[in-house]
Amino acid sequence: MPAAERTRPRRLPWALAVRTVVPAAYAAALLAGLFSPSAGIRPAALVVLAGFTAHYVWRLHRATASPEPGDLDRVEVGVLTVLALETVLKALAIPAPWPLAAHGAAVVALSPWLPPAGLLALPAVAAGLRPQDLVPTLLALEALAVASGIVAWAERRRREKLRVAYEKLQRDAATLGARAPAELGARGGLVRIDETLFRFLTALKERVRAHTALLVLRSGDGTLYIRELVSDHHGGIREDAQIRLDATAFHWIVRNAKPLIIGDLRDPAARLGYYASRVPVRSFAGVPLLGPDGVQGVLAVDGLGPQAFGEAQVTALEVAAGLVGEFLEQIRAFETVKREARDFQHLHEFSRRVSEFSSQGEVLDLLLTTLSQRLGPPFAAVAVVGGDRRLRLEAVLEPWAHLRGQEFGPDDGLAGWVLASRNYLHYAEGRGNTRRPLFAPRIRVPEFPSLLMYPLQAHGEPVGVLCLGHRQPKAFDRSAVEFADVLAQLAGQALLQLRSLEQLRELATRDPLTGLWNRRAFLDRLTAELSRARRYPSPLALLLADVDHFKRVNDRYGHPAGDQVLRAVAATLRSLARETDLVARYGGEEFAILLPSTDETGARALAERIRKALEAEEIPWEGRTLRVTASLGLGVAQDGDDTPDALISRADQALYAAKETGRNRVVAYSDIREYASWGT
């Protein structure tokens, strides 16, 4: 035989060797007293401890990071935990009976996670590490392990039953059209359905003398699940089984929509799918449960003897299937009416509440809250169109709230396409061939199998895009699509109405030529700031600026040139003021700058910067350059008892002094005494 074809002996994988040798060697070190207080702290002990700790952390991470760790991995972590605990007990020389109590606590803590055999192995490991107390330690810990194992088994059994019941409830919700599993089970609805089906299948089993009778329904994704089952067989029945359509007798019934009789059944566990072990079942009969959308399930029975069912039993099954179909159709119709009533209530409440809102954020928050309550999407976001026609994510559900504030262009992704086309977009099972991002390539969002996007618009004007994503395929049925459509229309109208109101407010409070606040808005803000300064004592300053010799500009170059000068002056004032300041056109060529939390020194410094900036500014106009200067008067609120008229009067008197003493200068009200010779 050539050397290349010789069979080499299988070597033990290095990882398995390490996992075996390290615990054994460390246990030997513990028995040798390496970590006893009398041995002291030795370098060798520290090296062994560091190696064991690294190994323990490695195995613990591997076991806990895996969604379904194997039994061997669980037992290994349990053994390593006992070794680590014994290290602490020996190093601290903990006296009896505390070591036994500590190991007992570890056994109890690990009992829900370990398999029964592994749980019984832990006391043996703990007792072996304490040979002086081997027998009593072993007996006590084994008894505790058995008790903990029984309690853990009962808890796992209870949780498994709850899981099966909840999964069945979820599939019922999808099959019967309920909005959410909790609603189908509310007020005893699920209990009444269970009782009715159980009694019905019990009577059917006795009528056709069957061993088992069961109702199998088809869920939204096409899989079959056992809705109800009545059997004389005790144990070994998979009531929570999702029947594989390509591997059982149910496949033929669903595919052909015809009854099926099997008189000599071989291997019922494989052919039927709901038995977990070998059973003496020899006959099977099943009929399709027909509905408006085709086959919606199977009603079936099985028997112990061969050729147990004939035409008479199949006829009885067909009659029963018709009754079950009518019963389920009534439930489905009832659930549809309830869902439509709930949807109408949601939409009515949304429409009522948005009419009371005064901000875009309130509308978007209510929109996402309503969608979460009705559809429960893991992902929901709203992008709003800005003044530059770019879109901005203004509302996003957790855990993607960090995307809020991101901006993107109308051509960057699917959201822009929805906005431009004015049509909704619905992907039920992935996005097909398109690889376009939802918003933009740089905005990272998972690819959801179910995707629903709507333009938010009113009267043909787009204001934003609504995006919903779900991890489950076909998560948004027809009713969900219709609900989201109506809600998107209501939200679009509300946003457009708020935008129109905001524009009206702008017209009422903004100067149309310069874009600054107008005199009315300035006086309202001045009153509010004076009131705030009284409540929370803080300085408040006011600047009044007047363009010098503005009439000459109008007379020489015309009023359009004067308008250009006013716009340029307004831009300069806005660029030098803080965000908390208010810049307004007070009237004609006069401007006001309100400075909260600013004393006379700070206001004088800003006024001087404004004066110098205007003096240096070159204003282009029809091929020539215009230059202007400005005079500024400064008034500061005093003693917290000022009125708007008093503060304006001080600033106006200071402005008059600035113009009378040469223009292009800053004068504060406190400086007026220096100009007492006016008019003399």
Catalytic amino acids? 589
* 320 residue type, one letter: A
How far apart (Å, rounded) are the C-alpha atoms in residues 74 and 115?
8
DSSP state letter for 556: H
Query: Residue holding tokens 């099997």?
Result: 262
Token pair in block for residue 508: 């009422």
How far apart (Å, rounded) are the C-alpha atoms in residues 588 and 544?
12
User: What does 206-264 look like in DSSP terms, one character per residue?
Assistant: HHHT-SEEEEEEE-TTS-EEEEEEEES--S-B-TT-EE-TTTSHHHHHHHHTS-EEESS
Token pair in block for residue 627: 């230059």
DSSP state letter for 548: T
Token pair in block for residue 254: 């669903």
DSSP-based three-state secondary structure for 470: strand
Query: Residue holding tokens 């207080």?
Result: 37
How far apart (Å, rounded) are the C-alpha atoms in residues 35 and 26?
11
Please give the sequence-ordered ranges of beta strands (E in DSSP) within 517-673, or none if there are none.
540-547, 582-587, 590-596, 619-621, 624-626, 630-636, 666-668
Q: What is the CA radius of gyration of the chain?
A: 41
Q: Give the residues across from 408 on adjacent strands.
A: 391
How far apart (Å, rounded) are the C-alpha atoms in residues 610 and 629?
10
Going by C-beta distance under 8 Å and a sequence separation of 6 or more, which residues neighbour residue 282? 263, 264, 265, 268, 303, 304, 305, 306, 308
HEC-encoded secondary structure of 420-466: HHCCCEEECCCCCCCCCCCCCCCCCCCCCCEEEEEEEEECCEEEEEE
* 113 residue type, one letter: W
How far apart (Å, rounded) are the C-alpha atoms in residues 641 and 531?
9
DSSP-based three-state secondary structure for 20: helix
CB-CB contact of 529 with 398 (8 Å): no
Token pair in block for residue 391: 């879109």
How far apart (Å, rounded) are the C-alpha atoms in residues 571 and 574?
5
DSSP-based three-state secondary structure for 652: helix
Token pair in block for residue 92: 């601290």
Query: What pairing do the DSSP bridges indicate for beta strands 450-458 and 224-231?
Result: unpaired
Q: 173, 98, 85: which is closest to 133 by C-alpha?
A: 98
How far apart (Å, rounded) are the C-alpha atoms in residues 657 and 678?
8
CB-CB contact of 361 with 384 (8 Å): no
How far apart (Å, rounded) are the C-alpha atoms in residues 218 and 250?
11
DSSP-based three-state secondary structure for 308: coil
Q: Give the residues across from 540 on adjacent strands.
A: 596
Token pair in block for residue 475: 């998560």
Say how many C-beta atoms besides its own lie within 10 A of residue 672's C-beta: 16
Count of alpha carbons within 13 angstroms of residue 66, beta-carbon side: 12
How far apart (Å, rounded) are the C-alpha atoms in residues 478 and 336?
12
Query: Residue holding tokens 């680590």?
Result: 84
Q: 100, 108, 170, 167: which is closest to 140 by C-alpha?
A: 100
Going by C-beta distance under 8 Å and a sequence separation of 6 or more, which residues neighbour residue 520? 508, 509
